[in-house]
Amino acid sequence: MAYKTPGVYVQENASSPDLTHVRVVNEGDTLPLLCYQIYGDSKYYIEVAKVNKLQNFRYLAKRTKIKFPPLAK
């Protein structure tokens, strides 16, 4: 739950593609898989790679933090 205004709480949707997400890479994670989990579609991996200035999106080092910004669909 998120505190919105005094005495009013709203439910947050932590998996919403409208929010910026940060994920820590685990063994076996791929950028397309993470994009699918966040956005519901793996096709956004190129945009996410650019935002994170990844040189090689095919290899993600464990414990790397990846930002998933809101994207226009």
Q: What's the pTM?
A: 0.72
Residue 4 or 49, more confident:
49
Q: Which residues of 19-44 are buried (b: 16+ CB within 10 A; e: fewer)?
A: eebeeebeeebebbebbeebbeeeeb
pLDDT reading at 63 higher than 60: yes
Span 16-68: which CATH code? 3.10.350
Please state the rounded mean pLDDT for residues 53-65. 93
Task: Express each pLDDT in 17-41 by its tens digit.
Answer: 567 889 999 999 999 999 999 999 9
Q: What percent of the chain has pLDDT over 90?
A: 66
Under DSSP, is residue 30 helix (H, G, I), strand (E, B) or coil? coil
